[in-house]
Amino acid sequence: MISLHVYLTPKADKERELDSAVCDDWLAAMSQQPGFLSAAVVKPFSDEDLEKLGGLRPEPAIEAISFWSSDEERLEWVATPLHDQVFAGVVEASDSVTYTLQTVEQEWNL
């Protein structure tokens, strides 16, 4: 199993559009693909809460994490026209899009 971590920073005044593009379009379509297992979107706590807790503010505003049975199946999804179509909205609403892949060594309740 692998995990894909996509780090997103919205363009000015485009946070709502980015949220919709990620959740309503991209991840919704992704969740129907062979090999897809699960996904989550995480956002940092408020600056005040992070300060109280001693936490660091991550640079990207949104992290979308998806879990796949294999990278081959993830790459098959990325090669589809539907991926290009739904991911275009993510790119359009983002100032910055970066990603990394990781191997899942152990899992609990996934």
| SS3 readout for the chain | CEEEEEEEEECCCCHHHHHHHHHHHHHHHHCCCCCEEEEEEECCCCHHHHHHHCCCCCCCCEEEEEEECCHHHHHHHHCCHHHHHHHHHHHHCEEEEEEEEEECCCCCCC
Q: Is residue 109 part of a domain?
A: no
The pTM score is: 0.90
User: Looking at the 3D structure of the chain, how many domains does it have?
Assistant: 1
Question: What is the span of the domain harbouring residue 41?
Answer: 2-103
Q: Is residue 110 part of a domain?
A: no
Q: The domain spanning residue 59 has which CATH number?
A: 3.30.70.100
Average confidence (pLDDT) per 10 residues, the chain, 110 residues: 97 95 97 97 87 82 95 98 98 96 87
pLDDT of residue 1: 96
Q: Is residue 8 part of a domain?
A: yes
pLDDT of residue 8: 97
